[in-house]
Chains A and B, each alone.
Chain A
Amino acid sequence: MKIYVPRDAAALGVGADQTAQAIADEAQRRGIAIELIRNGSRGLLWLEPLVEVDVAGTRVAYGPVQAHDVAALFDAGLTAGHPHPLGHGATEQIPYLKRQERLTFARVGLTDPRSLSDYLVHGGYRGLAAALARQPADTVASVTASGLRVRRGAAFPAGIKWRTVLGAQSAQKYVVCNADEGDSGTFSDRMLMEGDPFVLIEGMTIAGLATGATQGYIYLRWEYPQAKLALEAAIAAAHAAHYLGQDIQGSGKAFELEVRMGAGAYICGEETSLLESLEGKRGQVRFKPPLPALQGLWGKPTVINNVITFASVPIILDRGGEFYQHFGMGRSRGTLPMQLAGNIKHGGLVEIAFGMTLREILYDYGGGSFSGRPIRAVQVGGPLGAYHPESQFDTPLDYEAFAAIKGMLGHGGIVAFDDSVDMAAQARYAMEFCAIESCGKCTPCRIGSTRGVEVIDRLIAGENAAKQETILRDLCETLTYGSLCALGGLTPYPVISALNHFPQDFVKPVRQSSASG
């Protein structure tokens, strides 16, 4: 009798450890022999802790299950998959999950993330086997052919970066994973690292073999201690089985991997700042060129990609670039793990091919707001993403379509706000966040963000409002065109979109009446 209780941080945050303990105790009390497996999360986060019971090969879901529900669930016949008010039937048949196209997240929630043998049973390391059987240039060609793009900001094709590193002449090259997932509204990297750490390790190993890099680093944010535990356990297991080390699967090729912890700096999600941090310095942004692909970590050629990018590589190698290319629309190929967050009824991970509209994901998957009030604004793409009003909800989720409405998909975070939101406060927060997280290297970001907070304060106080708005727009233009990196360069997105789409929130009398009502 297998029972699954996630060890995902989000599940732990709502009591999964207590639930697991209660299940173990209750089973023992009743003399039922169970095997308790601590899996990753299925991504149906509003149902966490989501308990699954294996009934003759079918997994039956119950959730959210708190420790105090456990005895009643056993009474109702949990171990036989019997119905209960907390029951949802077969997990795979839950519409939220059934309608998804899980490629990158195929194993997350399904397997035991600490078990290498479970990973192998579920198709793990087939991508690495394919990579070992071919020339590095062919591996790079497959990644390029797949259309896989770097899942952040400009969404640059990953294969081009790899080709540059492969072509660079150097005795030492590096592979660096950007696991500094700092965008509010995003948690797909965390879920993947906690739920299927081996796939990231495999993807980075393939990148090492394909580009001639022998040392890899995963730069992980301190806010993810569970991910650290999962990665370190998986790295140790991979090492012991020669999937990492000096002689990978008898090929004579070497790749070593180490987890390095960040220390609470949003800017370290910017790749050059991350490299500085890895070198043990302040996370200040570097000028480009030189590109990290040519002069990256310690000045050596470096592949630096996001977690989801590396994690997409094994399936591309295993199934072929064309298989992956088949998903998606336009120039956005493959799937995108979207994250539904904020004031949303059914928050969680939704991996779908590009092209679904914002409205579909908010209502068909998300089920509307958590509070039950109308959704008024949605921020897509993290704290540097634009706020979208209802009139833009029919935009398809695609890099180019969002660029066309002055927004960005970024890392796929979708944060919903109901009609109690004060958009002037959100605009002010965007500037404040930029001021707190600025690395200080360039003037528009370092000083402009603080001035931005002050201008917005005067604007919403109604001090010569028309003039303040002109100053704010001018300041935003300076930030956009004068900043060294995306932090200063994109902070105007949330500010200007709030101002353009919700101007009434910036007018003093309306603000007061909405605040009191």
Chain B
Amino acid sequence: MSNQSPRRVIPIKVERQSSLTAKEQSAVIEACMRLKGLPGALLPILHAVQEELRFVPKDAVPLIARELNLSVAEVHGVVSFYHYFLQERPGRRVMHLCRAEACQALGSVALEAHVKAKLGVDYHGTTRDGAITLEPVYCLGNCALGPSLMIDQQLHGRVTAERFDALVTQSLEHS
């Protein structure tokens, strides 16, 4: 490999009509520059982008593809494979409600119905005021103290309908 001349790279032009703001674009580029030296850098970069922008915008995909010398299809394939990466801008809070068996055994199916009615959204939906995005999750590792809910990175156990309502009120106050 080392004897060969450097591989010729055909530059990929990023679409002009990118919806990213200058700030978002620089956040994506910064994440790529900081992490692209890692072996298997794509997931760490996507995590960094989501941490910074709270989701992985569609127009970040060609930028990342260019920086990693991957095809847009490859990057899109990875973003869309993993449930954690959000492709749409979420609400100010992201709530992950556990749907797995241990929580079901403690009444999470009824809780799920309450949550959806209270927020007026289904899974992957965002409340009309842009406050809360609801996502399903398949186990939070809190199986002895379910039903479980994660708000951003904060875990809540023994969530009843009343406790959920209180958590929503709290979340709205602090967001």
Contact = CB atoms under 8 A, between A and B. Distances in A.
Interface of A: 9-10, 12-14, 45-46, 48, 181-187, 189-190, 222-226, 260-266, 277-283, 298, 339-344, 347-348, 370, 379, 383, 413, 415-418, 421, 425-426, 429, 433, 436-437, 439
Given A260-B44, A264-B137, A280 B145 contact: no
Contacts of B96: 223
Given A280-B78, A370-B106, A415-B102, A182 B144 contact: no
A433 B106 CA distance: 18
B102 A185 contact: yes
B43 A277 contact: yes
Given A223-B150, A263-B84, A342-B102, A10 B41 contact: no
Interface residues of B, number: 43
Contacts of B143: 184-187, 339, 341-342, 347, 413, 415
B78 A281 contact: yes
A264 B82 contact: yes
A437 B138 CA distance: 9
19 contacts: A9-B155, A10-B141, A10-B142, A12-B154, A14-B145, A14-B157, A181-B141, A185-B101, A186-B139, A226-B155, A260-B43, A261-B43, A263-B82, A263-B85, A265-B82, A266-B138, A280-B41, A383-B100, A415-B101
A368 to B, nearest CB: 13
B144 A339 contact: yes
Contacts of A265: 81-83
A187 B40 contact: no
B148 interface: yes
5 tightest CB-CB pairs across the interface, nearest first? A347-B144, A184-B100, A342-B105, A13-B157, A341-B143
Contacts of B144: 10, 45-46, 187, 339-341, 344, 347-348
Interface string B127-159: 000000000011111111110101001111110
A515 to B, nearest CB: 12
Contacts of B148: 13
A341 B82 contact: no
Interface of B: 39-44, 46-47, 74, 77-78, 81-85, 96, 100-106, 109, 137-146, 148, 150, 153-158
Contacts of B104: 342, 417, 426, 429
A417 B101 CA distance: 9
B100 to A, nearest CB: 3
Contacts of B42: 280-281
Nearest to A342: B105
Contacts of A426: 101, 104
What DSSP secondary structure best describes chain A's contact surface? mixed
B83 A223 contact: no
Given A263-B83, A282-B81, A10 B157 contact: yes
A344 B81 CA distance: 34
B142 A278 contact: no
A343 B104 CA distance: 9
A45 B103 CA distance: 15
A10 B43 contact: no
B141 A261 contact: no
B41 A429 contact: no
B94 to A, nearest CB: 12
Contacts of A225: 153
| Most chain A beta-carbon contacts within 10 A, residue among B47, B84, B106 | B106
B139 A223 contact: yes
Contacts of A260: 40, 43-44
| Most chain A beta-carbon contacts within 10 A, residue among B47, B139, B140, B158 | B139
Contacts of A379: 101
Contact of B105 (A182, A222, A261, A343): A343
A283 B82 contact: yes
Contacts of A278: 40, 43
Nearest to B85: A263
Contacts of B83: 263-265
A182 to B, nearest CB: 6
A420 to B, nearest CB: 9
| Most chain A beta-carbon contacts within 10 A, residue among B44, B81, B103 | B81
Given A10-B144, A413-B143, A415-B105, A280 B158 contact: no
A235 to B, nearest CB: 16
A248 B144 CA distance: 39
B139 A184 contact: yes
Contacts of B156: 13
Nearest to A217: B40
Nearest to A349: B144
Contact of B137 (A13, A185, A223, A425): A223
Contacts of B153: 225
A413 B158 CA distance: 19
A429 B158 CA distance: 22
A224 B153 CA distance: 9
Given A265-B83, A339-B143, A340-B144, 20 more contacts: A9-B142, A10-B144, A12-B154, A13-B157, A13-B158, A48-B145, A183-B139, A184-B102, A184-B103, A184-B139, A185-B102, A187-B142, A278-B40, A281-B74, A282-B77, A342-B102, A344-B144, A413-B102, A416-B105, A417-B104
